[in-house]
Structure 1
């Protein structure tokens, strides 16, 4: 993948990470579970982030120091697309709150390098 395409994917990670932060800011786990529209928006952003990471590729992800478990991210993307009815909103919320901000920041640092 060309460096321009990698940069585009990194921007997608940053943009969707920023959206997730805005969407979940007013929520705790209980209010997130109760808000279907926010859950849908966050799940879609997570799906985009997962796809961006897969498109970047495992080797480039490692070279960029994105420190993400590549196979877990790919698995999350597959679950978001194919097993959406079985998703646990608590796990989605925890992922959005705990895992996405450091990934977003790492993608931003990679863009600035």
Structure 2
């Protein structure tokens, strides 16, 4: 599942970093933003299935984030990105893995 794969990559890239180290590492920030774009695109492709499978996540915001990262990249708030990485992605990974494990094998 693209969401789990990219979210896990983000956590791998940022492991051991604090907010300041994240802010000071452009390569990691760029990689994180690219993975967030992929998560946003995967959420768009899932459509309403995302809300059905994982109703406790802000899917509209996840989809909108991709547009911000693609079109308003010069005004991306690093604090918001860091908050997503540290507060939202861990739960999303757990919930998405659980949802995938409960899907029938033919999906």
Instruction: Give the TM-score normalised by structure 1.
Output: 0.85
Residue among 71, 75, 97 paired with 2:64: 75
Question: Are positions 1:94 and 2:83 aligned together?
Answer: yes
Structure 1 runs (4+) deviating above 4 angstroms are none
- Higher mean alpha-carbon deviation, 34-43 vs 90-99, is at 90-99
More helix by share: 1
Segments of structure 2 that go 5 or more residues without pairing to the other structure are 103-107
Quick one: higher RCO (CA 8 Å, sep 6+), 1 or 2? 1
Segments of structure 1 that go 5 or more residues without pairing to the other structure are 1-10
1:30-83 CA distances to partner (integer Å, 9 max, x unpaired)? 1100000000000011111111111101x2112212522222112111001111
Instruction: State the superposition RMSD in angstroms.
Output: 1.1
What's 1:56 paired with?
46
What's 1:110 paired with?
99
| Equivalences, count | 102
What's 1:29 paired with?
19
